[in-house]
Amino acid sequence: MLLAVALLLAVVDVAPRPREAPALASADAVVIVRWREEPPVPPAGLQPLPSLDWLGLHRYAVEPTQVDAVLAALSADPRVEFVERDRSYKLLSVPDDPLIGEQWNLQQVHAIDAWDVATGGGDVIVAVLDSGIDASHPELAGRVVSGRNVRERNSDTRDDIGHGTHVAGVIGARGDNGIGVAGMSWGVRLMPIKITDRQGEASITAAAQGIRWAVDHGARIINLSFGGLDDSRTVRLAVEDAYQRGALLVAAAGNCGEVATFRDEGCDVANPPIYPAALSQVIAVGALGANGELAPYSETGSYIRLTAPGGVGGSRRSNPLDYILSTWPPGLPSPIDVPGYSYEVGTSMAAPHVSGAAALVWSTNPTLSRDEVERILFETADPLGPPGRNDRFGYGRVNVQRAVERAAQLPGNRVADIRVLLEAPQPDAVVQGPLTVRGWAVDALAESGTGIDIIEAWLDGPPGQGAPLGRLPYGTARPDVARLLDRGGFTNAGFSVALPVTRGVHTLWLRAHSALSGVWRTQQVRFIATGNPPRVEVPTPTLPGALPSSP
């Protein structure tokens, strides 16, 4: 007997879509000035640009090599209330992956909001029982661990039909890396278990062996984007064994729900139970369209536990809202205009959303049991239909943000392992001139180095809401901190930077991101800025071209 992988293919007839160019090639040669007393003629070296009149701000172009000198001169000029560089900001809540605008699925499950809590660590392995994974794909490279080809009994897990690579990308395509798409958990490790032939079919034996191999080799989550009509005792025993050993199993609910197409999916009747999804130890995932509607092909029944984006199909890939965009082997023909990526549709695409969400929850709080992770996913899902679980939507649509926030609030969360000390400014400090931000950050569980890879500052609001002050340079060695943490001579993320601020009462928000666990730690402090101190009798620095002396 064969288990048919849930996979829909169609022919593309869509022209390439143009990509928008950035508004500015470089913001490094622009300064923003708020004048106390605006000079009748801009000082030499400043070329006026369109102003921000509603804020009382003036913008000037500056020779790129003179930016530092211009900032120093204007900061010392008593006519200037404040001056700052017009910087470009890289906000984690809006990753820079160029195709993310076409990933409606991420918005629907609140994944982008979840990444402000955690982006996913590498301490969780998700096994993908499928057609293999293209480990060389730039979105997946370095995070595909050794797997198994159980059909051919070797280690060749290359993907020759694309389905497994697409599923893997939904789970864990690297986000905020400037290319392609983003997956649910950016740091998760992916284990390819190749169970199919080139026609997308897998034997019961291969499925059972793949499940056992994955658990034996450390997979905490097993994604099963395949299914068949019969309840195999062999597969049931393998699932029960994996479940007893603490693995979380997620499966596609099946694509035979539509009367017009169920025979095309290999079903004898419409909407039959699909296995292994229908087993009680498995989280069966149905598929939703871009408007939150149940996809017409998606199975319903008492075994449905959750729903997630899968697309509705039917548009020959001319409408991205009908499909799920993810990674594709670059060496295989792609039905769209971007090599290495493809649109696909089905409950095969819905299941990895839940697997990726579970990985994000587990890396945020590794002390949770499998049952606790399941309960979090069910309790935080967006309810669809009648209250409680129902046969169409299960417990509802997976909500990644709420699930991760819940995990971060429970004992054992990795947020507590990040130590952040803000030495300056101190609470309610009075600051004259530029604001000095100084301190250190470290992930206490990092075996070497700091575990910290990003430090960001925001003014007068939390990340994503306040004014971004940018990413802070870090890496200063702090022996006193190393001794405090019993870390020997390891360096840690010491930082010290001066930032321009306006007069008034402000709140500084600082957050540090651990590359080890993928979680953020946020600190905040209130301070009072009084502006530049009164000018003393010292020579005024001059711009190239002689900045006029103040009256």
* Residues assigned a catalytic role: 130, 163, 348
The dihedrals phi and psi of 143, each to the nearest 5 degrees, come to -120, 5
Q: Are 335 and 12 in contact (CB under 8 A)?
A: yes
Cis bond before residue 425 (omega within 30° of 0): yes
As a whole number of angstroms, the distance between CA 242 and CA 246 comes to: 7
Q: Are 252 and 283 in contact (CB under 8 A)?
A: no
What sign has the CA pseudo-torsion 105, 111, 113, 119? negative
Q: Angle CA(243)–CA(247)–CA(248) in degrees, nearest 5?
A: 95
Give the number of C-alpha atoms closer than 13 A to the C-alpha of residue 442, restricted to the C-beta side.
Answer: 27
CA-to-CA separations, 345 to 224, 240, 286, 342, 365, in angstroms, rounded: 15, 29, 12, 10, 31
As a whole number of angstroms, the distance between CA 167 and CA 325 comes to: 10
What residues contact 297, with CB distance under 8 A and at least 6 apart?
255, 256, 257, 258, 261, 265, 287, 313, 346, 347
DSSP 100: G
Residue/partner pairs of 34-40 with CB below 8 Å, 24 or more apart: 34/58, 34/80, 34/81, 34/82, 34/83, 34/502, 35/79, 35/80, 35/81, 36/78, 36/79, 36/80, 36/81, 37/79, 38/79, 39/79, 39/548
Radius of gyration of the chain, Cα coordinates, nearest whole angstrom: 27
Buried b / exposed e over 245-254, threshold 16 CB at 10 Å, is eebbbbbbbb
User: Which among 507, 375, 515 has a CA at the least distance from the CA of 442?
Assistant: 515
State the amino acid at position 142 in one-letter form: G
DSSP 415: G
What sign has the CA pseudo-torsion 188, 192, 193, 198? positive
Q: Are 419 and 401 in contact (CB under 8 A)?
A: no
Q: Are 360 and 403 in contact (CB under 8 A)?
A: yes
Residues facing 523 on adjacent strands: 510
State the amino acid at position 102 in one-letter form: E
